């Protein structure tokens, strides 16, 4: 099957909107491959923090992104043979990822890596610009959103469950700051892609959101 004919479902949205959980479950249900594009930025951020890379040095950060040795193995994220699934979820890493994602050179360095995940029988890709930039011709594009309060609550639970300390007030401020950076950056801002289905999950659980995405896909896959 030509790569251009391999089906892609894109699920974009702000931090803690639930897109990762929904995308992963949809991929499992359909037997599709899964791409957590945000993890690639977090991996770049983690690498930069560990190496002491100047976070204002766009060129150095882009070189780090270009040479990432990473893979997704089941539910684990591997960086240079180390399982960093939990490490990349730390707030410092997330905030750093949001900042370096504003650099055009970093985004460009990761494009080829992201496109390479499009393999038969299909791909579910989640992130900020999967439908608007990376896979603009995907047959189904979803924009998952939720209120800041709902997202902060989910993020708080996620961090506590993983053993990290968390403060709700700080999380609200961080999410608002990330939203502002993501929606107002000059390159690939966080916006619903043209033709995207917008799904507000503020009052929905993950199962309900997954069912809705699968219904949308079933309607176009006939």
Task: Count CB atoms within 10 A of the CB of residue 157.
Answer: 12
Task: Count CB atoms within 10 A of the CB of residue 215.
Answer: 9
Whether 31 has a binding-site annotation, put simply, is: no
Whether 18 has a binding-site annotation, put simply, is: yes
Element (H, E) at 68: none
The count of C-alpha atoms lying within 13 angstroms of the C-alpha of 153, restricted to the half-sphere facing its C-beta, is: 9
Kindly report the backbone phi and psi dihedral angles of residue 78, in degrees, each rounded to the nearest multiple of 5, phi listed first: -110, 130
Whether 21 has a binding-site annotation, put simply, is: yes
Kindly report the backbone phi and psi dihedral angles of residue 99, in degrees, each rounded to the nearest multiple of 5, phi listed first: -70, -45
Whether 19 has a binding-site annotation, put simply, is: yes
The count of C-alpha atoms lying within 13 angstroms of the C-alpha of 146, restricted to the half-sphere facing its C-beta, is: 21
Whether 16 has a binding-site annotation, put simply, is: yes
As a whole number of angstroms, the distance between CA 19 and CA 188 comes to 18
As a whole number of angstroms, the distance between CA 47 and CA 51 comes to 6
Whether 17 has a binding-site annotation, put simply, is: yes
Whether 15 has a binding-site annotation, put simply, is: yes
As a whole number of angstroms, the distance between CA 10 and CA 125 comes to 5
Whether 63 has a binding-site annotation, put simply, is: no
Residue set of the binding site for ATP: 13-21
Residue set of the binding site: 13-21
């Amino acid at each position: 099957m030509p790569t251009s004919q391999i089906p892609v479902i894109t699920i974009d949205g702000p931090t803690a909107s639930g897109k990762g959980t929904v995308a992963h479950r949809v991929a499992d249900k359909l037997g599709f491959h899964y791409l957590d594009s945000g993890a690639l930025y977090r991996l770049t951020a983690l690498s930069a923090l560990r190496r002491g890379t100047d976070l204002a040095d766009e060129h150095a950060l882009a070189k780090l992104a270009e040479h990432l040795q990473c893979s997704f193995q089941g539910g684990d994220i591997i960086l240079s043979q180390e399982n960093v699934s939990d490490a990349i979820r730390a707030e410092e890493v997330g905030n750093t990822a949001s900042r370096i994602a504003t650099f055009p050179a970093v985004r460009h360095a990761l494009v080829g890596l992201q496109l390479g995940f499009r393999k038969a029988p299909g791909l579910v890709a989640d992130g900020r610009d999967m439908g608007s930039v990376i896979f603009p011709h995907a047959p189904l594009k979803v924009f998952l959103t939720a209120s800041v309060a709902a997202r902060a609550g989910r993020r708080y639970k996620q961090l506590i469950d993983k053993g990290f300390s968390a403060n709700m007030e700080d999380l609200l401020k961080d999410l608002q700051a990330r939203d502002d950076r993501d929606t107002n950056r000059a390159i690939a801002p966080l916006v619903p892609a043209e033709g995207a289905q917008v799904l507000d999950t503020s009052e929905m659980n993950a199962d309900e959101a997954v069912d809705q995405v699968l219904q949308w896909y079933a309607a176009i896959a006939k």
